[in-house]
Amino acid sequence: MTLRGLFISFEGIDGAGKSTHIDALAQAFRAQGRAVTLTREPGGTPLAEKLRTLVLNDPMDAMTEALLVFAARRDHLQQVIEPALARAEVVLCDRFTDATFAYQGGGRGFDLNTLSYLEQLVQTTQAPEANFVRQPDLTIWFDLAPEIAAQRLAGVRVPDKFEAQPADFFARVRAGYLARCEAHAQRFARIEADQSREAVWADVLTVFQKQGWLGQVLPA
C-alpha cells in the first residue's frame, strides 16, 4: 500500500494540554514506521519564528497581526508542510489557521471575511488535477474552559501578550474555535480537555484508530 502524507493540526488555548499529546502522538506514529514532521504556528521556519516573536510580544493592531500570521504561514507551508506531505510524512502542527480565526477573529474581533480571503490567498496549493486550499486532514481541538486553563498556567512562565489577556478574551477565543468546529465538522475532533492526562490520551488515540491511521498503541 502506498502511504500518503497526513496533515494533522492541534488546536486549543494555552493550558489545554496540546503539547504533551502532540509529542506522544509523534512517538506513536514513529513506532509504527511513519516519518513525522513536528512543527508549530506561528513558526516552523527561521523566518516564521522571527514573525512569531513579533506577533506574541509586540503591540499592533488586529490587521497587522493577522497579516504577519498569514505571512508566517505562507513560508511555513512552502518550506516545511508541503515538502513533508510530498514525502508522504505525517505532519503534526501545533495550531494552524483555525487558531487565527479563534484568536484574531474571535478574540480580537477582526473581520472574518478578510481572514477567509487571506486563507484562500495564502493556502491555495497547486495540484495536477486542480488547485485547492490546503487544510489539515484532521484537526484535534482540545476544548477547555478558560478559567481552568488559567489555573494550569498560573506561575508556569511569564505570559506572552495573548496569555496575559483577560478571561473574556479567551471566552471569545473559545467561541471562535466552536464556530470553526461547527463550520468544518468533517475534519474536527473535539476532545474534552478537562480530564486526566490518561483519559485525554485515550480519547486522542480513539480518534486516530477510528480513522485507521494508528493500530494498537501503549498508554502514554
Ligand-binding site membership of 167 (annotated): no
| In contact, 68 and 12? CB cutoff 8 Å | no
Per-position DSSP letters for 49-79, written without gaps between them: HHHHHHHHHS---HHHHHHHHHHHHHHHIII
Peptide bond into 42 cis (omega under 30): yes
Ligand-binding site membership of 155 (annotated): no
| In contact, 144 and 91? CB cutoff 8 Å | no
Ligand-binding site membership of 18 (annotated): yes
Ligand-binding site membership of 23 (annotated): no
| In contact, 8 and 132? CB cutoff 8 Å | no
DSSP type of residue 107 = I
Ligand-binding site membership of 58 (annotated): no
Reference 103, options 171, 156, 6; nearest CA is: 171
The burial of 136, by beta-carbon neighbours within 10 Å (0-12 exposed, 13-18 middle, 19 or more buried), is given as buried
Ligand-binding site membership of 143 (annotated): no
Widest Cα–Cα separation across the chain: 51
Ligand-binding site membership of 13 (annotated): yes
Element containing residue 148 per DSSP (H, E): helix 146-153
In whole angstroms, what is the distance from residue 58 CA to residue 160 CA? Answer: 10
Ligand-binding site membership of 12 (annotated): yes
Annotated binding residues for ATP, written as ranges, equal: 12-19
Annotated binding residues, written as ranges, equal: 12-19
